[in-house]
Chain A
Amino acid sequence: MAFHYNGSFADSQSIVGISVGKSGRDALHSKLLINFAGYCGELHLAFHNKTVFSNVFEEADKYIWDAPRGIPLSRLKALAAKCVSIIKKIDQQNIPYAIEYKGMRKFNGEGIYDDYRTGSEFGLTCATFILAIFDSAGLNLLEWENWPVRSNDSVWFDELIRYIDTARARRWTVMSDEHYNNLKSEANCKKIRPEEVFSAVYSIASPQKFCCSEMIGPFVRSHILGLA
């Protein structure tokens, strides 16, 4: 099973890792861990327009992490280099928070989540943020095209909208009406969960299929929610 944080990269030979942990009562959050070219820390989409790189492992006791399996070192190095390129321009990032992942955009050299293919998606979650970075380095972490829409995601979605309503009212976040409406239109879209992105590290042959994530994901979730 995954390593627990110990305040630094537990395995000094790992250059990329994925972590997942508690961010609320029942909510999980995922992050990408980097240890490459002098950059060691965690990169994640904290919320709407809030991309963060921290060389301090925040709330380490609530997170577990592991390094991807089955990905050749050369590919991991390219991924890590891409991450560093993104981190170096982190102040210029402006990544909206939205749910459905369509693989429509890439991170360009300015670290910006940018239009790439025809069509568009509204933004990323903490989980699809990781998918998008892997995708930008030519690595498909999950078979996200085949993810199903699940009815129990609506509970999470309703809570999210309630939180955003509060956050907007109290000015914790600045979100345009247009983006808010786009986000609300994603009520019945497929959602890739943080624990499912994390579970892909155990996939020997990427991309991981839904059936595998469906099996490992709940185990990861219950393990994390059981952490002190």
Chain B
Amino acid sequence: MATVELSYKKNTSIPSVDRKYSVDDTSLNQNFHDVSVYMHKADCNECSIALRHTSTRDYSFLSYSVSTSQHSLSGMKDYALFITSEEKDLLKVTAFILQLQKIYNESSDNALVFIFDTIDTWNIKEDYHMFEKLFTVLLNKTYNEDVYISILASTLSLKSNPLRANYFSYVKEQLKNSYSEEELIIVLNGL
């Protein structure tokens, strides 16, 4: 993802922010525990960035419109007022995809670790809808085979989910370019 220049003003929950940052600016890490970029939807020009403050671990969200370059900052409580839980799931899933791509560009091995670190922490019962969105979002996204395999391996506990089955079929089609039918059986065995 291209670097997006952002500026935002002081907020009680985020000190020292009266300056410009880019998403990839490492100085962000000095003030924030982690930074997540959320794209709303494929056809939406807005993205949101979740900032987790290092000391308080509170979240604040910066919404940013790519088309108008306008932005707004709100705390988690305010943010929760205008998005539904389903939308939050989508944000979380999309953030996962974006972060995955970013990490993958730096190190494919670290991207695989990120998959397990992240997906396995999602609660299977409470976050069931999120998994469904994950598989929906992942369909038609092209990665290399290591990423496909790790995503399937990290979602083994959802084998009965029909959307996972769709994703499995999609991956199988993609991997046919790399493996013979016999090899594919070995690669996908157990997934």
Residue numbers of A with Cβ under 8 A of B are: 36-37, 70, 72, 74-75, 77-82, 84-85, 88, 106-110, 116, 136-140, 205-206
Contact = CB atoms under 8 A, between A and B. Distances in A.
Contact of A137 (B117, B148, B153, B157): B153
Contacts of A36: 109, 113
Contacts of A79: 153
A85 B156 contact: no
Contact of B157 (A70, A78, A116, A140): A116
Contact of B121 (A37, A75, A108, A206): A108
Interface residues of B, number: 29
Contact of A108 (B109, B115, B120, B150): B120
B152 A37 contact: no
B183 interface: yes
B137 interface: no
B119 A136 contact: no
B13 to A, nearest CB: 27
Contacts of B17: none
B116 interface: yes
Contact of A81 (B121, B148, B150, B152): B150
B112 interface: yes
A77 B190 contact: no
Contact of A84 (B113, B152, B190): B113
B35 interface: no
Given A84-B113, A109-B118, 16 more contacts: A36-B113, A72-B183, A75-B187, A77-B149, A78-B149, A78-B150, A81-B109, A82-B116, A88-B113, A88-B117, A109-B116, A109-B120, A116-B157, A138-B153, A138-B156, A140-B190
